[in-house]
Structure 1
Amino acid sequence: MPRIRFHKLAAIVVLIGFAAWMTTGEFSSVGSASADNKAKAADAEQPKTPETGKPKTAEAEPKAPLRTVAVITPPRRTYARAIRISGLTEADKRAVLATRVAGVIDQLPVKQGQRVKTGDLVLRLATEEKVSAVSNAKQLLVQRQAELAAAERLAKTGNLPKLQLDNARSSLTLAQSLLEAMQAELGRNEVKAPFDGVIDRVPVELGSSVMVGGEVATILSLDPVIARGEVSERDLRYIKLGDEANVRLVDDQTVKGTVRYISRDASSATRTFRIEVAVPNPEGTIPAGMTAEIALSAEPTDAVMLPRSVVTLGDKGDLGIRAVDKDNKVVFFPIDLVDDSPKGLVLGGIPADARVIVAGQELVKEGEVVKPVEADQATIQKLLGEANAGTQ
């Protein structure tokens, strides 16, 4: 029993010692631990160099040179936005004249191209029986008037009953209505000009027969003549009633007119708005249906003229120009196209002090630092010449 108790006690002591050794974290041998401690001490005593802990390749790489771009501060001018619209001319008024009754054409005093005034006779149908009917109605009216006068005289003396007097008055009223109806029927045989204009088409001949509603003539009013076109929704805000417009015809004739109508309902197919420009045409020399170009001028605005090559796309797909700010960083300015002239683009939305990149703008991006140099004198003179030409 004493021996068994001694071994148990020894096992417990060994277990406690092993646990204490494990908690110290020292698993290496005494010799290696000493070597490590000496190495650490030597490292601690050795002075650190400036290169310690820094990658050698970071300072070894040379910096990339800045990209060189040509810049210019373009001259500014006051421009009026030019709005050009393709269209055609048309008559101010147009009417297709037709008969109201059937008959045979008895008179046709007009010809194609003839000028007429309001109320001028254009056509008359044969009216023999209708003239006779009007004559008979007039005679009947005279008779009924006489009968009424006699009935009134007899009624005053008491020799005529009141009922017969009323019948005489009713007969007179019917005779008057019959005469008016016959005269109206006779009037339907005539076709007259509804307004001043020119007879453009006469599809019938003298002596031919026409049906009710048959077309007999087309009349046009060409003073003023109307230049009609479609304006885009982008340019609609620049146009108002009463604006002056230049209308260039296909024969290079240019005339002036005034905007008289702007539609407020866009075409569902093209999203454009109809406009009409009234052009004085007292001699009728401008025909309807001729191709025309309508030129309007918007309110003047401050803008610059630059070559088309300067315009580029931004990172978001906007149309604009690239410039250099005071820190030589590339900036992008969206533009407003004021006009597209043969000399170049007239652009708005560019700050007054902007240094526009005219060479190398496609090789840089927004935020990049560049080396700007002024464009050569030839480029400056070209831009100045284009700007001056655009204001003349």
Structure 2
Amino acid sequence: MKKTYLAALVVALLFVLWMLSGQIGTDGERAPAPSLAESRDSMLRQREDSPMAVRVRNLDAELQRALIAVRGRTEVNRRVAVRAETGGLVAALPVEKGDVVRAGDILCRIDAGSRPARLEESREAVTVAELEFEGVQKLEQRGLVSATGVATARARLATARADLRQRELDLSYTAIRAPFDGIVETRPVEIGDFLQAGQVCAEVLDPDPLLLAGQVSERDVARLQIGDPGTGRLLTGERVSGVITYVAQAAHPSTRTFRVEVAVPNPNASLRDGITTEIQLPAEEHLAHHVPSSVLALDDLGELGVRIVDADDRVQFVRIRVIRDTADGLWVTGLPETVRLITVGQELVVPGEQVRAVPEAERPLPIDMSETPTRLDATAATRSGGDDGAGQP
């Protein structure tokens, strides 16, 4: 019985030693996995003999103006809450909300009450004071009235005239008028309401010109000048253009941005206040290239750029800066004045790789792009090749 246990123990030890010998042998024979740089170099060497074909577009730089994009909103040129200057009952409301008014049109009329009677009383008082003053002047010429009497009569006349003027104004204040041409936005009173001096009769807006108002950063504010053109695309779909009429001298205390306003003609009041707007403000001019957005890529540091083909038919990655966005591409700076831009196959090549550049005007590429391995596939193939020598015992 003991011999059976001993034999089983020997077999188990031999099996364990056999397994350990396989692991040790594997660790000693397995080649280290190549790095990404080594895999890329290996792939480049494999492609030197048969360069990959890529489609290129020949581009020449053009003079283009950079655009500063600002998110903002529309604002009316003026907004005034027209207030009563005297108190009384509202007797008439000649306008409604939304009505177009001209400067001087009556917005609210307050009941005159006893004001006309007091005005007539003041006129009579002025007449009496004038007659008294004339009589005193005649008596002064005859030496019958002292200088003090003349001064007193003159003061009474001035007081009567001032009282008359005050009552004329008080009566005129019963007609509350529009201060400028515009649109009645609100009218918070109704006939029969009692208006006190200082209360709002109506709010009037001046929509022409309409303002596109936004905030620009500290970096961009120095690039703007009053009188420069500006455009806007409203959320409602309209596209408008105007000129910069205001650039703030002081930054907003919280955001450290500067207010800018673009005045846009709005004679028919078709553009409304408070609509979200994308404002584009032209800045300085640059030599730039127009590239499709599909060719943009990022380098190892996360910088934006494109891949081009140099004079030696090798791929180069060039960092760019976008200065303008259009419906069919981007205007960018940072490229040589004349450049061959890779437009097809840029994802399959790496900087430094030898390629065969095929202009867009020629026939289709002589390769099947769907069958061409990517860099990741090539790297994986290289790494798997390094594992071929490591086998299980």
TM normalised by structure 2 equals 0.69
Compared CA separation, residues 346 and 151, structure 1 to 2 (3 A) = closer
- The correspondence for 1:107, drawn from 85, 92, 97, is 92
1:91 touches 1:226 (CA, 8 Å); kept in 2?
yes
Could you tell me which residue of structure 2 aligns to residue 199 of structure 1? 184
CA distance in structure 1 between the aligned counterparts of 2:163 and 2:221, rounded to whole angstroms: 58
Match of 1:230, as an amino acid? Q
Which digits, 9 at most, give the CA deviation of each residue in 1:120-145, with x for residues without a partner? 32223222222222221221111111
RMSD: 3.3
Compared CA separation, residues 254 and 305, structure 1 to 2 (3 A) = closer
2:59 touches 2:339 (CA, 8 Å); kept in 1?
no
Match of 1:178, as an amino acid? D
Aligned 1:27-176 pairs, distance under 5 A: 64=42, 65=45, 70=54, 72=56, 74-78=58-62, 79-176=64-161
Which digits, 9 at most, give the CA deviation of each residue in 1:192-216, with x for residues without a partner? 2211212221111122112232111
SS of the counterpart of 1:339? strand
Compared CA separation, residues 251 and 308, structure 1 to 2 (3 A) = closer
2:133 touches 2:157 (CA, 8 Å); kept in 1?
yes
- The correspondence for 1:240, drawn from 204, 211, 225, is 225
Match of 1:112, as an amino acid? K
TM normalised by structure 1 equals 0.69
Match of 1:222, as an amino acid? P
Compared CA separation, residues 370 and 253, structure 1 to 2 (3 A) = closer
Q: CA deviation at 1:146?
A: 1.0
Could you tell me which residue of structure 1 aligns to residue 355 of structure 2? 372
Which digits, 9 at most, give the CA deviation of each residue in 1:274-324, with x for residues without a partner? 322222222222222234333444455432233434333345443223445
CA distance in structure 2 between the aligned counterparts of 1:381 and 1:275, rounded to whole angstroms: 50
1:137 touches 1:175 (CA, 8 Å); kept in 2?
yes
The structure, 1 or 2, with the larger RCO (C-alpha pairs under 8 Å, 6+ apart) is 2
State whether structure 2 residue 274 is matched by structure 1 residue 274: no
Q: CA deviation at 1:268?
A: 4.8
CA distance in structure 2 between the aligned counterparts of 1:141 and 1:306, rounded to whole angstroms: 83
2:61 touches 2:337 (CA, 8 Å); kept in 1?
no
1:196 touches 1:221 (CA, 8 Å); kept in 2?
yes
Q: CA deviation at 1:236?
A: 4.3
Query: How many residue pairs were aligned?
Result: 317
Which digits, 9 at most, give the CA deviation of each residue in 1:129-183, with x for residues without a partner? 2222222122111111111111222222233344333322222222222223333
Select between 70-79 and 203-212 the one with higher mean Cα deviation.
70-79
For the pair shown, which has the larger CA radius of gyration, 1 or 2? 1
Select between 245-254 and 202-211 the one with higher mean Cα deviation.
245-254
CA distance in structure 1 between the aligned counterparts of 2:156 and 2:292, rounded to whole angstroms: 91
State whether structure 2 residue 243 is matched by structure 1 residue 258: yes
Match of 1:76, as an amino acid? D
Could you tell me which residue of structure 1 aligns to residue 174 of structure 2? 189
1:108 touches 1:124 (CA, 8 Å); kept in 2?
yes
Match of 2:243, as an amino acid? T
Compared CA separation, residues 356 and 281, structure 1 to 2 (3 A) = closer
State whether structure 2 residue 270 is matched by structure 1 residue 285: yes
SS of the counterpart of 1:305? strand
Q: What runs of 5+ residues in structure 1 fail to find an aligned partner?
A: 1-62, 383-392
Compared CA separation, residues 356 and 268, structure 1 to 2 (3 A) = farther
Q: What runs of 5+ residues in structure 2 fail to find an aligned partner?
A: 1-40, 366-393
